[in-house]
């Protein structure tokens, strides 16, 4: 009897720990419709409706990335945030970004509230739009996010990254916040001098 219980426990744990099917990474359900990698923007829009955020990543005059956009769908706290990345009008990638939430306008942009890996949509929900920003497409080594660039190392290849710098000036009572984003994700946060903007 004891042996049977152990075998049953092992069987149940192996089923629970088995990897999820790869199909889950390539598809997402919008109501009763299924959206998958390879669909066009208009097909996704028809199935899922207008996204909570459309984020175009190609600065004028820089064709390195092609036409790239990321759409975020926030369907509330009961579902995961869905991030759909398009390149030249075709769905290339589907990601999730934690639980959705009720978007009732920007928060107070708490000092510890911005963290590396945070999506642009969550940054906007936490802090609102930046006071100033600039963006460009740059070439970086594939593993640049995991180590500091050093010319002594060989890199296997380079790829285009859409890099943005968002500057938040909250006035003279708080330090200026400089947030760096790459491909729609926060990669670095720095503090500047006290702000200069007059309080509203």
In the prediction, which pLDDT does 49 show?
Answer: 95
In the prediction, which pLDDT does 141 show?
Answer: 77
Spatial CB neighbours of 11, under 8 Å, sequence gap ≥ 6: none
Are residues 92 and 113 part of one domain?
Answer: no
Are residues 77 and 115 part of one domain?
Answer: no
Are residues 152 and 112 part of one domain?
Answer: yes
- Express each pLDDT in 5-34 by its tens digit: 544 444 444 433 333 333 335 888 888 999
* Token duo for residue 7: 């075998």
Indicate whether 68 belongs to any domain: yes
Q: For every residue of the chain, which 3-state class applies, written as one string? A: CHHHHHHHHHHHHHHHHCCCCCHHHHEEEECCEEEECCCEHHHHHHHHCCCCEEEECCCCCCCCCCCEEEEEECCCCCCEEEEEEEECCEEEEEEEEEECCCCCCCCCCCCCCCCCCCEHHHHHHHHCCCCEEEEEEEEEECCCCCCCCCCCCCCCCEEEEEEEEEEECCCCCCEEEEEEEECCEEEEEEEEEECCCCCC
Q: Which of 103, 124, 140 is the last residue of a domain?
A: 103
Indicate whether 55 belongs to any domain: yes
In the prediction, which pLDDT does 14 show?
Answer: 40
Indicate whether 172 belongs to any domain: yes
In the prediction, which pLDDT does 7 show?
Answer: 47
Give the structural domain span for 57. Answer: 21-103
In the prediction, which pLDDT does 196 show?
Answer: 81
Q: What is the number of domains present in the chain?
A: 2
Gap between the Cα atoms of 140 and 82, Å rounded: 26
In the prediction, which pLDDT does 136 show?
Answer: 86
Are residues 111 and 200 part of one domain?
Answer: yes
Are residues 81 and 62 part of one domain?
Answer: yes
In the prediction, which pLDDT does 139 show?
Answer: 80
**Spans in the chain with pLDDT lower than 50:** 6-24
Q: Which of 103, 136, 166 is the last residue of a domain?
A: 103
Indicate whether 88 belongs to any domain: yes
In the prediction, which pLDDT does 143 show?
Answer: 63
In the prediction, which pLDDT does 68 show?
Answer: 87
Indicate whether 117 belongs to any domain: yes
Across-strand partners of 125? none
In the prediction, which pLDDT does 21 show?
Answer: 33
């Amino acid at each position: 009897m004891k042996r049977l219980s152990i075998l049953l426990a092992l069987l149940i744990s192996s089923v629970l720990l088995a990897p999820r099917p790869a199909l889950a990474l390539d598809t997402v359900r919008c109501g009763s419709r299924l959206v998958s990698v390879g669909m066009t923007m208009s097909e996704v829009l028809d199935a899922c409706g207008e996204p909570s955020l459309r984020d175009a990543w190609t600065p004028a005059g820089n064709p390195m990335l092609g036409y790239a956009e990321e759409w975020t769908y926030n369907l509330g706290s009961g579902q995961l945030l869905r991030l759909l990345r398009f390149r030249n009008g075709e769905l290339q990638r589907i990601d999730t970004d934690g639980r959705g939430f009720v978007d009732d306008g920007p928060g107070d942009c708490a000092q510890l509230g911005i963290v590396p890996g945070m999506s642009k949509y969550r940054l906007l929900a936490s802090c609102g739009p930046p006071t100033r920003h600039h963006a460009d497409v740059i070439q970086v080594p594939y593993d640049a996010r995991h180590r500091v660039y050093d010319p002594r190392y060989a890199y296997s290849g380079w790829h285009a990254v859409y890099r943005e710098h968002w500057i938040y000036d909250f006035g003279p009572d708080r330090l200026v916040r400089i947030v760096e984003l790459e491909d729609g994700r926060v990669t670095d946060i720095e503090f500047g001098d006290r702000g200069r903007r007059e309080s509203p």
